Amino acid sequence: MNFEFGRVALVVLFALLPIVGIALGFFVPALRARGPLVVGFFAGIIPILSLYIPKRFLSGETGMRPRLDQWLIIVYGFALLLGVVNVIQNGTRKVARREKGWPFSVVLLTGLFVTGGLGIWGAVSGQGITTLPDGSGTPFKWIADYFFLPLQATIFALLAFFMASAAFRAFRARNTEATILLVAGILVMAGRVPLLEFLAAPFPPIQPAAAAASQGLGKLTEWIMQTPNGAAQAGIIIGAALGAASMAIRVILGIEKGYLGLGGGE
């Protein structure tokens, strides 16, 4: 029998240690946070170490890091389950207490149970979630195609109307910064589409000039997007990445405890 150090270490760190932690939490409440902090430390440090230490047990095909990645996918599944539980709890409470807007919660819960139920039934019965063995669609697919897809598209399409209304009422040149934003916005909006060609369409003599001007406007738009916008975006991304890295270090070292939900967050 092969002894896989990585596998054994993972079992110790993420199965035995949490059990010990839970037991400790029962008997010594002051130590409740210790177990999760140790688990958090190893879950954070193993992927980092695997980048620098090319050992089989750490970063090999069946090493600790790839296994942790796979576990992460499973944990994500549980997160989805938590979301569903949360929706059910909030929805049922709203309906039971007849809070404002409770009929919407009835619709939400009905949609959740009917759609989710049909999907789960398709999976459990082996018929398939979206397609039946004969190639036809399942009721789940029918709901997705004829309710979910058009409804989501409709909600997003409504944005065009609100954006146009907001453009008319709120997009004002109130000061220098707003004016710069306004001019840049108009240039980008005009440069991203063949606007000049559209305006010149009824006047054939000026069409070549409009096409040439449109090319120039397009180049100016690309410059705005690539240079000032690209530089600003890079700054934002680097800043956010540094923030995420410092937060990760705080979690790994046990300084940040807010995620434990024990009220000890800083």
| Binding residues for another protein (CB under 8 A) | 61, 66, 69-70, 72-73, 75-77, 79-80, 128, 130-131, 141, 144-145, 148-150, 152-153, 155-156, 160-161, 163-165, 167-169, 171-173, 182, 185-186, 189-190, 192-195, 197-199, 201, 211, 214-215, 218, 222, 225-226, 229-231, 233-234, 236-237
**Contacts of 53 by beta carbon, 8 Å cutoff, 6+ apart:** 59
Length of the chain: 266
CA 1 remoteness from chain centre: 42
Question: Which one, 41 or 171, has the nearer CB to another protein?
Answer: 171
Write down the least CB distance from residue 178 to another protein, Å: 10
Question: Which one, 69 or 99, has the nearer CB to another protein?
Answer: 69
How far apart, in Å, do the first and last CA atoms of the chain sit? 47
Q: How far apart are CA 161 and CA 265, in angstroms?
A: 43
Write down the least CB distance from residue 35 to another protein, Å: 23
Write down the least CB distance from residue 85 to another protein, Å: 16
Place of tokens 């000032």: 228
Contact 6, 62 (CB under 8 A): yes
Write down the least CB distance from residue 54 to another protein, Å: 14
Question: Which one, 96 or 173, has the nearer CB to another protein?
Answer: 173
Question: Which one, 105 or 214, has the nearer CB to another protein?
Answer: 214
Contact 40, 248 (CB under 8 A): no
Write down the least CB distance from residue 52 to another protein, Å: 14
Contact 113, 142 (CB under 8 A): no
Q: How far apart are CA 253 and CA 208, in angstroms?
A: 65
Q: Taking CA 188 as the corner, what is the angle to CA 182 and CA 191, rounded to the nearest 5 degrees?
A: 135
Question: Which one, 25 or 194, has the nearer CB to another protein?
Answer: 194
Write down the least CB distance from residue 192 to another protein, Å: 5
Question: H/E/C letters for each residue in 119-137?
Answer: HHHHHHCCCCCCECCCCCE
Question: Which one, 20 or 188, has the nearer CB to another protein?
Answer: 188
